[in-house]
Amino acid sequence: MLKVVGEDIGAFYQHYPRVAAIVTVSSAGRKNAMAVAWHSPVSFKPPLYGIAISPKRYTYQMINDSKQFGINFLPQGQAATVVAVGGSSGSFTDKFTEFNIEEDSAIKTDVSILQDAYAAYECKVVDNRLFGDHAWIIGEIVAVHIAVELFQENGIIDLNLLQPVLYLGAETYCAADKNSIKVLDRNEYGKR
């Protein structure tokens, strides 16, 4: 395999696809939603989830004020909603009205939970640090909303019923191929 070796990260899409999700926030009587591709679990106990948010985003100010956020995972069929909230700013529009986004109530925070989300976490901010041009904001998950019928007994997504929104970068989206599934047991393979 021919590789170009250097220091230029280019478009920085080499580590994609990533699940594109929607961060929700509510502050001073206003609510907002934005798309995120840079997000990650950080700890099981306590359950912590991190999101990388540019301080340029309206959402950033709102998280800073409210110290809360929600992260919502939508099925592929709702990819256009992810793109819509990722292509507009809440400082000009109420994205919920503009894009007909239906909400469920949160139980431990004031954030909106998207009705179409197959899973969502309500988070309370425990840390917020600037790294370069993004802030890495860590929230403790204080409530979870899960459409359990779309998950298998072992907790993984049932790809026959649900396709997550996979983002390849450069405005390009794809789906996970259920025919590619393999179960490879780490205990068995780790001994080889």
Residue 25 near residue 31 (C-beta atoms within 8 A): yes
3-class state of residue 91 by DSSP: coil
Count interface residues toward ligand FMN (CB under 6 A): 22
Q: Is 69 in the site for ligand FMN (CB under 6 A)?
A: no
State which of residues 52, 146, 157, 159 lies at the interface with ligand FMN (CB under 6 A): 52
Task: Report the C-alpha gap between 17 and 168 in whole angstroms.
Answer: 4
3-class state of residue 49 by DSSP: strand
Q: Is 71 in the site for ligand FMN (CB under 6 A)?
A: no
CA 81 to chain centre: 13
Q: Which stretch binds ligand FMN (CB under 6 A): 41-49, 55-63, 99-107, 138-146?
A: 55-63
Closest alpha carbon to 114 in 22, 13, 46: 22
Non-local CB neighbours of 56 within 8 Å, separated by 6+ positions: none
One character per residue 20-39, x = contact with ligand FMN (rule: CB under 6 A) = x-----------x-xxxxx-
Residue 141 near residue 122 (C-beta atoms within 8 A): yes
Task: Report the C-alpha gap between 117 and 21 in whole angstroms.
Answer: 9
> Segment 77-106, which members bind ligand FMN (CB under 6 A)?
82-83, 86-90
Q: Is 147 in the site for ligand FMN (CB under 6 A)?
A: no
- Nearest approach in angstroms of CB 34 to ligand FMN is 4
**Among residues 30 and 151, whose Cβ is nearest to ligand FMN?**
30
State which of residues 59, 72, 81, 112 lies at the interface with ligand FMN (CB under 6 A): 59
Q: Residues in the site for ligand FMN, rule: CB under 6 A? A: 20, 32, 34-38, 52-54, 57-59, 82-83, 86-90, 134, 167
